[in-house]
Each structure stands twice: as structure tokens, then as C-alpha cells.
Amino acid sequence: MATRRSRVLENWERLVRATLQREQLRSAGQGLAGAGAGGAGLASAVPPSLVKTTNIEQILQAADDIADEDPNVARILCEQAYTMAQNLDPHSEGRGVLQFKTGLMSVIKQKLAKKDGAVIDRQRDIERLWNFYLTYKRRHRIDELQREQQRWRESGTFSTNLGEMESRMIEMKKVFATLRALLDVLEVLVGDSATDELSRQIMEEVKRIKISDGTLRGELTPYNIIPLDAPSVTNVVGFFPEVRAAISAIGYTADLPRLPANSGAPQLRKLDMFDLLEFVFGFQEDNVRNQRENVVMTIANAQARLGLLDGVEPKIDEKAVAEVFDKVLDNYKRWCKYLGIRVVWNSTAALNKSRKLIFLSLYFLIWVRLLMFAFFLSAFATYFITYISQMAKELDAILDSSEASPANSCTSSNGSVSYLKEIISPIYKTMAAEAANNNNGQAAHSAWRNYDDFNEYFWSPSCFPAEMATSEGFPVSA
């Protein structure tokens, strides 16, 4: 008991120290905080309805940042932001959209007025914007910044020079955000139907730079606690040995099947199990990103309870993986026993650490979408437990092959692979259609089916297995 208490206190002290270090970083970077933070000036006025579906906020933030440096380029960005807002909401029906458009148009007119009557040749906007992009990139030494950050990442240690490091990171993120906005506007202005030679050359260059400079996207990738898709040298938690060990544990090992060459490898991190699962089952990118972090944190926490790791390349203890695997999948195993469905693996003891981790990751990826049907309990007990087992069996077979291939359960007739489209959407569409039959609550109860009716249907002994083979993947008969 005393040992456990001391370990808890030690872990708590580590977290407190990490938090204090983070506060030091923030304090050291306050002089540049305004530069690194978004939502200032024009960008702060973008209505929520436009922020959710466009990058208008980022474009206007870039316009604010470079307004003094090149007012003409800032004008181009503002005009493009206005065009995007107009195309998205032409009648200004969204809350605050009309006021936003009016204010933005006023800003554009002010920028035009500063030209003192000089004629603006909009035919040269693309060329002007492209030249500014190249100049901006050279002046801020983007290549040097990227090499510097790569050295920090590869060192595997957290720098003690907090102030300088935070200042550099804030500067880098500001520059990357501006470059990203410039690239996005260039791509829109040139379009896919470029006719003149200059436009074609610019479009080819934009595509090439977007591929080679994947860091532009990675540096701005959102994360919850650990930036796994674009590791940051200013994130203290990412340097904890148990976190580094958990990241290594889900890595792509030699015993996993090869991914096809055209599957696309991440530019800012190494391949891992989640890349395989995304390819095989077509899980959504954000789902994969969130669950990757979830699994890493869960495994790291289990390891922290067992004891601290040491060494240059720390390894996760088998006991930590077994503890999480048994705890998370216990509910699945109990449902299988209750329904008479065979669990995928013959024996937990026969599963190595890698298999446990990949089955655990698959379960998290499947489960996160099931929360859409929180009131669909009886259907979950039969339909989803059956599908979880089916997908796990497919994965088990794929893991025994030399090269990965898409799972049949998530592959459509046209060859596209999507868990959301093939497994979740049929259920959602069926229930949405039934909800529409209630005539806004005025239809007779016998005229449409609610949650209780669907749940009752799934306890019918005739619903499986024949109904599972329907083309839509979901039984719709009453």
C-alpha cells in the first residue's frame, strides 16, 4: 500500500512539474502570444456558421498579419474571403452573416481608397499573390525552421531553454498559418481550369509545394493532450517515458501486413496500427486521430500505475497492455457470452501484445460511432456485437496475410471503403425515415416505428442471420 501511495504521489508531482513548465513556456512567449493566437481583427468577426465550413477565419487572420507589409495582398485575401462568404450564404441567412459581409466590404473599400484612384489590375492578382508567397517564405527561412524543429524532435528530449523555444514555436506557427492561407487562396483563384501558361505553372507549383511542405498542415493540426500527428517540442507530456513507450507500442512492426504503396504515408510521424485500421475499414480521419491519442493515453496511464520506465527507448510492460485490454473488452466478451456469439480469439493468453493493441484500437474506433445510437440498446446488443465480431475476424485474417487489403464489410459496390457509409449510415437513414413518418408528432403511434419498436424487433429470433445479409446491411421490415 505504501509503495502504491508513493507511486501515485510521484506521478502527481510529475504532472505538476509538467504544468508549471508549460506555464513557464506561456509566460516566456507572451510577447509573441498575439502573433500566435488566432481570432484577432477581422478574423474575430467571422460568424460561427462560416467558421465551421470554411477557412475564412484563417484567411482574414493572414490578411491582418500582412496588412502593413503588403496592403495589396491583404486586399486580395479580403476579397477572396468575401467571395467565399457570399457563395456559402448568398442570402445572408446565418446569424451575423449580413453584419460580417457589410463590415468586410467596408474594409475592402477602405483598402481600395488607399490606392488614391490608381487602377487595380485584378488580372495580376494571382501573380502578385504568388510572388509575395515566395518572398515571404524566403524571408522567414521556412526550410531552416523545419530543419531546426526536426532536430528537436529527433533529440527525444525536452529543451530547458523554455523562453527561446516557445518564441520560436510561436513564430513558426504564425508563419505556417499565413503560408497555408496564401496557398489556399492561390489554389482557389487559379482553379482546375487554368488556361494560360502562367496559371498552369503556378498550379503545378502550388500542388508540388503542398505535397513537399506537408508541415504547413501538420503544424496546425489540432490535438487534445498529445500532438501525435505533428509532435511539438513544447509539449511536456509528449516526453514522458510512458507516453513515448505507448507511442512506440502502437507503431508499425514487421509482423503487420504491408500497406500498398499508394495508401499514403504520414509525413510528420511514423506509420502505426491506426494507419492500417484506417486503410482496412475506412474510418474517418478525425476519428482515427482522436482514438490514436485515446489509446496512447490509456496505455500510458496503465503503465504509470505499474511504475516508471527508464532508458533511451522505454518499452510498455505487457501487464499494462493486458490490464487495458481486459478492462475495455470485458463488456464485449460478456455480451458475446449472453448472445451466444463466439469471441474472435480462442484465448487471451494466446494473443501477443501487438494483437491485443490492434484489437483494442479497432474496438475504440468502432465504438465511438455507436454513441450515435445510445437509445438503441437492444439493436446494439445484436447488430453491433455481431458486426464487431465480424470486423475483428476480418482483421484477424488480414493480419495473417503479407499485404493489407480493404475489409469486405466496409467496401461498397464501387470499391470505396467507409465504415461510416457501409455500417452506420444505413441505420441512421432507416431511423431518420421512420422519424419523418411521425408527421411532426401528429401521426398515430401505429403509423410509424420508434426506438422501442426497433429494439423489440431485434429480440426476434428470426432477425439473424438472414437479415444481416441484406444489401443495405440493416433490416427494415417490421
Over the stretch 117-151, which tens digit does the pLDDT of each residue have?
A: 555 666 678 888 888 988 888 888 766 766 766 66
Residue 196's region, left for phi above 0, alpha for psi from -120 to 50, else beta, is beta
Distance CA 31, CA 33 (A): 6
Q: Does 247 map to a domain?
A: no
Residue 114 clears pLDDT 70, i.e. is over it: no
SS (H, E, C) the chain: CHHHHHHHHHHHHHHHHHHHHHHHHHHHCHHHHHHHCCCCHHHHHCCHHHHCCCCHHHHHHHHHHHCCCCHHHHHHHHHHHHHHHHHHCCCCCCCCHHHHHHHHHHHHHHHHHCCCCCCCCHHHHHHHHHHHHHHHHHHCCHHHHHHHHHHHHHHCCCCCCHHHHHHHHHHHHHHHHHHHHHHHHHHHHHCCCCCCHHHHHHHHHHHHHHHHCCHHHHCCCCCCCCCCCCCCCCCCHHHCHHHHHHHHHCECCCCCCECCHHHCCCCCCCCEHHHHHHHHHCCCHHHHHHHHHHHHHHHHHHHHHHCCCCCCCCCCCHHHHHHHHHHHHHHHHHHHHHHCCCCCCCCHHHCCHHHHHHHHHHHHHHHHHHHHHCCCHHHHHHHHHHHHHHHHHHHHHHHCCCECCCCHHHECCCCCECHHHHHHHHHHHHHHHHHHCCCCCCCCHHHCCCHHHHHHHCCCCCCCCHHHHCCCCCCCCC
pLDDT of residue 111: 73
pLDDT of residue 398: 95
Q: Does 165 map to a domain?
A: yes
Percent with pLDDT over 90 in the chain: 22
Distance CA 138, CA 284 (A): 36
Distance CA 81, CA 182 (A): 12
Instruction: Give the global pTM.
Output: 0.66
Same domain for 24 and 95, yes or no, is no
Q: Report pLDDT digits (tens) over 76-92.
A: 999 988 898 888 888 88
| φ/ψ of residue 267, rounded to 5 | -90, -25
Full domain range(s) for residue 424: 276-469
Contacts of 255 (CB under 8 A, 6+ apart): 354
Domain final position from 218, 237, 263: 218
Residue 93 clears pLDDT 90, i.e. is over it: no
Residue 414 clears pLDDT 60, i.e. is over it: yes
Distance CA 206, CA 194 (A): 13
The least confident of 147-156, 219-228, 330-339 is 147-156
- Confirm if 464 and 386 have CB atoms less than 8 A apart: yes
pLDDT of residue 233: 58
Domain final position from 181, 196, 218: 218
Q: Report pLDDT digits (tens) over 436-460.
A: 888 877 888 888 877 777 777 666 5
Q: Does 444 map to a domain?
A: yes
Domain final position from 218, 236, 255: 218
Measured in whole angstroms, how far is the alpha carbon of residue 352 from the centre of its chain? 29
Distance CA 210, CA 176 (A): 12
Same domain for 315 and 203, yes or no, is no
Same domain for 333 and 319, yes or no, is yes
Q: Does 223 map to a domain?
A: no
Q: Does 256 map to a domain?
A: no
Distance CA 397, CA 166 (A): 47
Residue 474 clears pLDDT 80, i.e. is over it: no
The least confident of 133-142, 152-161, 321-330 is 152-161
Distance CA 410, CA 57 (A): 35
pLDDT of residue 92: 85
CATH number of the domain residue 64 falls in: 1.25.40.270
Same domain for 167 and 118, yes or no, is yes
pLDDT of residue 19: 60
Same domain for 106 and 157, yes or no, is yes
Q: Does 117 map to a domain?
A: yes
When divided into structural domains, the chain yields a total of 3
Residue 32 clears pLDDT 70, i.e. is over it: no
Q: Report pLDDT digits (tens) over 52-61.
A: 777 888 898 8
Q: Report pLDDT digits (tens) over 195-252.
A: 677 777 777 877 776 665 555 555 556 677 787 876 665 566 777 889 989 999 999 9
Distance CA 469, CA 478 (A): 16
pLDDT of residue 397: 93
The least confident of 17-21, 155-159, 201-205, 330-334 is 155-159
Same domain for 174 and 320, yes or no, is no
pLDDT of residue 384: 77
Average pLDDT over residues 337-356: 87
Which cell numbers in the block locate residue 19? 504544468
Same domain for 6 and 141, yes or no, is no
pLDDT band at 37 (very low <50, low <70, confident <90, very high): very low
